[in-house]
Chain A
Amino acid sequence: MSQHADAIAARAPKGPPVRTQRLTLGRVFTHACLIFALLIFVFPFYWMVSSSLKPLEDIYIVPVPLWPPRPSFSNYLEIVGLIPSDEIDFRGGVSLVRTFLNSTLIAVINTAGNVFLASLAGYAFAKLRFKGRNALFLSMLATMMIPNSVGLVPNYLIMAWLKWINTWYPLIIPGLATPFAVFWMRQYMTTVPDEMIEAARIDGCGPFSTYLRVVAPVVLPGMAALAIFSFMGHWNAFMGPLIYLNKPELYTLPLFLAVLNSFISGRPTPLHLIFTASFVSILPILLVFLFAQRYFIAGLTAGSLK
């Protein structure tokens, strides 16, 4: 300890003088620009939260007050069904609680399946030798270039033949193992040293226990990034629910939001509920993002890996 401190003390005078951050004009300008950009990025969120605390009439006050004149949590009670709500009854009668649980269930099953099945396949592609490995992997990569919209109609017809319309199967089954996830896990698995896998085999581990006990713990950060990426994708998915679901009790959060926003003649758009539900719907992702930024950024910018 003291030895370390001595070393630092001995080094300090020799090094270059520490440059303090002086307040130059350039630096002030830089920060002004950064803060301006920050306001642009953050303001819509602030405004969404502040609107969620306003009764509907107060959303129509012009000029818009920066802080709600009569803040209350009644919108939150209304959106979860604790206060009776005509607007919710007119739009299918399900509350945010139900749709929130629906979204959670779908996203959790998908994420668990994707992390397990894609890492298993990724392990095989990265570390096991078998006939057809490269051909299969390349064929998978080739289809990844084709945008999802091409599969839209055929998938709908397949789901219709399977009698899966108005069920969650179309939202759950195809997402249990996706090409991107396999690709991502494979790239991560290639960083695991071969010696480790050899050692596990010498110790008598079979292929599956090598995967489970040796490889999986090493690639846990990669799995975490994939889990976040996958969860977020399903949590926010809109096109699938829009196409496959029209029973209110099956709605997911984004579909619930879109239905709240839909026009019904003679009824006002329930903006107070829309902002409240929007905020609640992004809150889980936002919290995970703030606490696990590293994995988030790794997962979302994964494509930029060389």
Chain B
Amino acid sequence: MAVSSAPPAGQPAYRPANSRYYTWEKVAPYVFISPFFILFGIFGAFPLLFAVWISLQEWKSVRANEYVGFENYARLFTDSNFHIALSNTAILGILVVPLMVIFSLSLANVLNQPIRGRVIYRTAYFLPVVTSLVVVGLLFDFLLGSPYSPLGSVLEIFDIEFKGLLEQPVFIKPSILVMILWRWVGYNMMIMLAGLQSIPHELYEAARIDGANGLQAFIHITIPLMRRVIAFAAILSTIGMFNVFEEAYMLVGPGGGTDRAGLLMGLIIYSQAFRSFNFGYASALAYANAVIIIALSFLQILASERAASD
């Protein structure tokens, strides 16, 4: 791009006088964002509005539909499948979130110290995070559900009979819990580690000089300074719980397994949409799920801010 003549007065010296160039500079930002915004508009933003409209319809097939008002939302109050899915997801969330925080914070806290081989530990703990959820589901399906699982061989040493856990409803939720913790603890550990590394080391030095032991330093320095990071990890886990699909699909199937003990919100939305083809009701379910997720996130942010200001 040749700059030939001197710029006219009133314009910055570096701006070329070429008027075509000048227009391009004004238009360029819109050109740069347009591929994204076209795709995002069609497949990201428009579907959100379209879903509202769909949720007010009774869909018979891909094309035929009938306006039914808020009937699909009213159905949420009477549908036992939805109630089971919601309570299963909530129960698992109440267990997953604190356990996730405890395990990941403890591991991160240990690995934040100069321990021999910590890179190896860190890598190993992160391995499940890079594994596909379908493979995770398949592995746990066999490990927890099959009579030929190595878990059975271990339990046999203690004379405990093992025939697979996934047929019995009481064991379905604990199985999902274990699988989710296994998959995600490493991920949360990395978030916690990033947080821990931002705590100035002098604080711990000062505490040590004042005679605080490791546990006291952890309670009085680490936890208060990590409050935001912990809240962030807790919110991510909560959101994640309401979106669990792949691994549960592989472990218990789209129906949630025996007695629907593993029926989760992610599964019921999928099966209403693509097993029963109730597109309208599936969209109402998806919006109900979204409202719950957003409300819970706000509550958690509020709670952590309040705790921080105390």
Binding site for B on A (CB under 8 A): 21, 30-31, 33-34, 37-38, 40-45, 47-48, 59-64, 117-118, 120-121, 123-125, 128-130, 133, 136, 139-140, 143, 145-158, 160, 173-174, 176-179, 182, 198, 201-202, 204-208, 211, 232, 235-236, 238-239, 242-243, 253-254, 257-258, 261, 271, 274, 278, 281-282, 285-286, 289-290, 293, 296-297, 300-301, 303-304
A149-B266, A207-B28 as given contacts; A44 in contact with B139, CB under 8 Å? yes
**Is A34 a contact of B115 with CB atoms below 8 Å?**
yes
A155 in contact with B37 (CB, 8 Å): no
Q: By the criterion CB–CB under 8 Å, are A154 and B54 in contact?
A: yes
**Given contacts A150-B47, A204-B16, A136 and B139 within 8 Å (CB-CB):** no
Contact A236 B123 (CB under 8 A): no
**Residues of B contacting A37 in the complex (Cβ-Cβ under 8 angstroms):** 107, 121, 125
Shortest CB–CB separation between residue B269 and chain A, in angstroms?
5
For the complex with contacts A120-B35, A285-B131, 20 further pairs of A-B residues with Cβ separation under 8 Å are A31-B116, A38-B125, A40-B182, A44-B143, A59-B148, A121-B35, A145-B294, A145-B297, A147-B242, A150-B51, A150-B289, A153-B279, A154-B46, A177-B35, A177-B36, A232-B130, A238-B132, A258-B249, A285-B130, A297-B190
* Nearest CB on A from B28, distance (A): 4
Contact with B43, one of A153, A174, A281 (Cβ below 8 angstroms):
A174
B199 shortest CB reach to chain A, Å: 14
Q: Is the CB of A207 within 8 A of B25?
A: yes
Q: Is B274 an interface residue (CB 8 A)?
A: yes
Q: Which residue among A139, A140, A304 has the maximum number of chain B CB atoms within 10 Å of its CB?
A: A304
| Binary contact track B266-300/A, C-beta < 8 Å → 1, others 0 | 10011001100001001100110110011001000
- Nearest CB of chain A from residue B151's CB, rounded to whole Å: 9
Q: Which of B102-156 contact A (CB under 8 A)?
A: 107, 110-111, 115-116, 120-121, 123-135, 138-143, 147-150, 152-153, 156
Closest to B53 in A: A154
A156 pairs with B273, CB closer than 8 A = yes
Interface presence of B8 (CB below 8 A): no
Most chain B beta carbons < 10 A, residue from A150, A198, A271: A150
Number of CB contacts from chain A to chain B under 8 A: 267
For residue A204, give the distance in angstroms from its CB to the closest CB of chain B: 5
Q: Determine which residue in A31, A43, A45, A157 has the highest number of CB atoms from chain B within 10 A of its CB, and name it.
A: A157
B40 touches A140 (CB 8 A): yes
CB distance from A235 to the nearest CB of B (A): 7
24 residue pairs bridging A and B, Cβ less than 8 Å apart:
A34-B110, A37-B125, A38-B121, A44-B140, A120-B35, A124-B33, A128-B28, A130-B30, A148-B243, A154-B283, A156-B274, A158-B42, A173-B43, A198-B14, A201-B15, A253-B132, A254-B246, A282-B130, A282-B132, A286-B130, A293-B123, A300-B190, A301-B194, A304-B194
* Inter-chain contact A41/B110, CB cutoff 8 Å: no
The reply to whether the CB of B50 lies closer than 8 angstroms to some CB of chain A is yes
The residue that A274 contacts in the complex, of B48, B138, B149, B266, with Cβ under 8 A, is B138
Residues of B within 8 A of A124 (CB): 28-29, 32-33
Complex Cα–Cα for A261 and B121 (A): 32
How far is it, in angstroms, between the C-alpha of A158 and the C-alpha of B50 when the chains are bound? 10
- Which B residues fall within an 8 A CB radius of A? 1-3, 14-16, 21, 24-26, 28-30, 32-33, 35-37, 39-40, 42-48, 50-51, 54, 62, 107, 110-111, 115-116, 120-121, 123-135, 138-143, 147-150, 152-153, 156, 182, 186-187, 190-191, 194-195, 229, 232, 236, 239, 242-243, 245-246, 249-250, 266, 269-270, 273-274, 279, 282-283, 286-287, 289-290, 293-294, 297
**C-alpha gap A278/B45 in the complex (Å):** 35
User: Are A149 and B243 interface neighbours, CB within 8 A?
Assistant: yes
Residues in B neighbouring A296, C-beta threshold 8 A = 126, 130
Interface residues of A, dominant DSSP:
helix
Q: Which chain A residue shows the least CB distance to B293?
A: A147
CB-CB nearest in chain A for B125: A41
> Chain A nearest CB: distance from B104 CB in Å?
11
| Known interface pairs A143-B45, A151-B51; A204-B36 also in contact (CB < 8 Å) | no
In Å, the complex CA distance between A82 and B182 comes to 35
Q: Tell me the nearest residue of chain A to B43, going by C-beta.
A: A174
With known contacts A63-B156, A153-B282, A157-B62, A239–B270 Cβ distance under 8 A: yes
Given contacts A64-B153, A207-B32, contact A147 B290 (CB under 8 A): yes
Residues on the B chain within 8 Å of A201, using CB: 14-15
**Taking the nearest CB of chain A, how far is it from the CB of B142, in angstroms?**
7
Q: Tell me, rounded to whole Å, the shortest Cβ–Cβ distance linking B276 to chain A.
A: 12
Q: Which of B29, B50, B123 contacts A154 (CB 8 A)?
A: B50
Check A177 against B40 for contact (C-beta < 8 Å): yes
- Given A62-B152, A154-B50, A204-B16, A45 and B37 contact (CB-CB distance below 8 Å): no
Q: For residue A196, give the distance in angstroms from its CB to the closest CB of chain B.
A: 14
CB distance from B256 to the nearest CB of A (A): 16
Name the one of B33, B42, B134 contacting A254, with C-beta atoms under 8 angstroms: B134
Contact of B148 among A41, A60, A239, A257 (CB under 8 A): A60
Is B124 touching A42 in the complex (CB atoms < 8 A)? yes
